[in-house]
Structure 1
Amino acid sequence: MKVLLVNGSPHKEGCTYTALTEVAKALECEGIGTDFFWIGSKPLSDCIACKTCATKHACVFDDKVNEFLDMAADYDGFIFGTPVHWGGATGAMTSFLDRAFYADFCGGRNNFYLKPAAAIMSARRAGTTATWDQMNKYFGLMQMPIITSRYWNMVHGARPEDVGKDEEGMQVMRILGKNMAWFLKCKEAGEKAGVPLPEQEQIHFTNFIRE
């Protein structure tokens, strides 16, 4: 089993990476393989609602989003990390998730269905809980079980060395990794025992306008 840790910071080895590394160490100690994926520091377009992904089975913008989608099927769980910018996830991370999950859904890839996910937030001081709420909405829409820790998944510090000194935050990261590992092992045990996936229903799209 493997978990992909997605670094949504423009800094490849900054505060967010420091937190993700602590989660990865805990996963590895539990026998779960890990890989890192950095979304990079180049600008990422937001979704333009062209719906090309419905026929192309990929985003019309061929960048880090498609690279991620091509990898996603090989992983059993995901941890998404982002710094807090202006009380929310970074613009790049927001565009990345908007496009990745929309392209997966509309393109019929189904790479994320019932795969556990978690978000972690890194901030100097505030905005972490609002960002956590924002990130978890993606997982709920994609039917991804949300893994939690003993506290909200956040670390604090202006520099990586500061984050390393956030004892409670780093403990929260370790517990998150252990909880993710436990869930993955339970899921694997259920599959081996023959527990079937939930019966699927046809999706009905509605709005609030009625004839």
Structure 2
Amino acid sequence: MSVVVIAEAVEKGLYNEGMHPVVELRESEMNEVKIIALGRSDTGYNNPDEDDYNTDFSSAANAKTSREQHEKGAFGEAVVAKHHSDDYTIHGLDDELTRSGDGGVDLEIDGTAVDVKTTDYGYACGRTPLLKVKQDCHRENMERIQNGDEDVDELMYYCVERINETTGRIIGYITASAFDGVAEEVNEGETYRAGEDGYNWTSRADNLVAEPSDLWLSYRDD
């Protein structure tokens, strides 16, 4: 596995969208993703105060939206896991069903905790894919790192663009510590780079945002 700093490739005129690894999931892998997403959607990920795991979504539309969001997240995790696996298969996905989520850790790569962020908006639809992390989540992650949490010495954020139902593009990754120094605050209701082609994204929460040029990129050379 080789690594390139995207900003350096841009500076040298070597960068192009084709550098980003594209990973396709097989039907069996997509079935696993959907099963994990369904389990997450119907547990306390959505309703931690209830006495049981049956979530009341208020409407069928809300239930469908929740499951779609969880599927998008699990899809991105599977893409990263497959890219980094020795046998090019998905493994190590978090399939534990809990009431409180995953604590910011989706999987581990070579012993390092990974948090995958998946976006539907990217190069395939003429947009710039952005790495977005909620401000409160990032603060909690940094506290865990700085306090010497025994489970998290460092954390990597991965950005994955979902190209279509079965194919994803790895945009890049960055450590939480490095992200802390380059990310831009975009609060709820604010628009990032308003009016600019490929951007013009309005945040639905208090987020921290990094662009592809802020990230590192790993690609298979085997």
TM-score by length of 1: 0.32
Higher-strand-fraction structure: 2
Higher-helix-fraction structure: 1
TM-score by length of 2: 0.31
